[in-house]
């Protein structure tokens, strides 16, 4: 199988690529991978260094909005796994334009190209943020979409495009919606890597509002394993939630990170809450569990400890990123 992975130099996409090229996933053994990535601020070829010498790996520097480039890359491709997206909520609040352009317009270009080149399989990677906020219970895949941030609205729009291209053009596409990811190689603007790297350096960390916003945490290894299951065995036109099963308030998570880095609450600065900040996310994974056999495998306590250790030991990876992004 030849797989095109868009956004494959980013946090989640690069994890998927590394796992595929080390034959981690049943049904994808021996697969060849071409990564298409624009290498914007969060795309990083260092994320792919562990597999860069693989004979089954190729990299193309380019943008999913470039139809001519897509026509050059797609011949011979069997499947697309579409990670490429602008994804940071705070950035979308400040300027929504790149999110609409890439997440909506870019996805449309990719879908059109997939139809032109008769791509056999397409997985569109989305987020639980398209559902909005839920006070109690958990979202099933048929829940109404009620996005509350420009980022979430752009992803909800791309989900609907995926549905439309399946229904209109018969594209064999599935959509995955994940909860909050954590893991290694995570760009240090997101909560866990920002807090860990700041605390390691003795810097304060910003806690939004009262800190009682709840998130379900999903290790990136579990997420990518779920995506591989959907790619190889998922049904056309279907949506699959992928969750980690560990719900924590941001305050509880902060406490764990303070403990892991031997810091105390004097390092925490409570800041004004984010505009449109969703109170709670929670996905029901009954569908992917019953149909594909998915269950999260990474224990959160062990996974978080591994992440803190990785950032402690890989300063050369994250220090330049924080400097370039103005996060120090």
Closest C-alpha to 292, from 154, 208, 176: 176
Helices (H), 25-149: 67-73, 89-94, 97-99, 107-116
Point out the catalytic residue in the list 25, 57, 131, 151.
151
Point out the catalytic residue in the list 37, 63, 86, 128.
128
Query: Known catalytic residue: 128?
Result: yes
d(CA 151, CA 89): 6
Specify whether the CB–CB gap between 65 and 102 falls below 8 A: yes
Query: Known catalytic residue: 131?
Result: no
Query: Known catalytic residue: 240?
Result: no
Point out the catalytic residue in the list 37, 129, 189, 222.
129
Specify whether the CB–CB gap between 225 and 294 falls below 8 A: yes
Closest C-alpha to 293, from 238, 222, 236, 237: 222
Closest C-alpha to 84, from 192, 4, 173, 190: 4
Q: What stretch of H or E contains 121?
A: strand 121-127
Residues with active-site annotation: 128-129, 151
């Amino acid at each position: 199988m030849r797989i095109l992975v868009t956004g494959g130099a980013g946090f989640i996409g690069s994890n998927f690529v590394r796992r595929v090229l080390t034959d981690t996933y049943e049904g994808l053994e021996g697969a060849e991978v071409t990564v298409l990535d624009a290498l914007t601020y969060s795309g990083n070829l260092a994320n792919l260094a562990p597999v860069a010498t693989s004979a089954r790996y190729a990299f193309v520097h380019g943008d999913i909005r470039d139809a001519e480039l897509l026509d050059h890359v797609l011949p011979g491709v069997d499947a697309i796994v579409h990670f490429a997206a602008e994804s940071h909520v705070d950035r979308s609040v400040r300027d929504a334009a790149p999110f609409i352009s890439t997440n909506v317009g870019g996805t449309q270009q990719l879908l059109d190209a997939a139809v032109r080149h008769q791509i056999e399989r397409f997985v569109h990677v989305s987020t639980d943020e398209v559902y909005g906020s839920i006070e109690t219970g958990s979202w099933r895949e048929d829940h109404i979409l009620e996005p509350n941030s420009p980022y979430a609205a752009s992803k909800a729009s791309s989900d609907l495009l995926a549905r439309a291209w399946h229904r209109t053009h018969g594209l064999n596409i599935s959509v995955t919606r994940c909860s909050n990811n954590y893991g290694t190689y995570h760009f240090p603007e997101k909560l866990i890597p920002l807090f860990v790297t700041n605390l390691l350096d003795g810097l304060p960390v910003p806690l939004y509002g009262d800190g009682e916003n709840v998130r379900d945490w999903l290790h990136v290894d579990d997420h990518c394993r779920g995506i591989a299951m959907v790619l190889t065995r998922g049904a056309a036109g279907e949506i699959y939630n992928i969750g980690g099963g560990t719900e924590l308030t941001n305050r509880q998570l902060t406490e764990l990170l303070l403990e892991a880095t031997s810091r105390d609450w004097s390092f925490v600065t409570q800041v004004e809450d984010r505009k449109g900040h969703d109170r709670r996310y929670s996905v029901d994974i009954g569908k992917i569990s019953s149909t594909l056999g998915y269950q999260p495998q990474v224990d959160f306590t062990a996974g978080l400890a591994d992440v803190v250790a990785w950032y402690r030991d890989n300063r050369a990876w994250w220090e330049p990123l924080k400097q370039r992004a103005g996060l120090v």
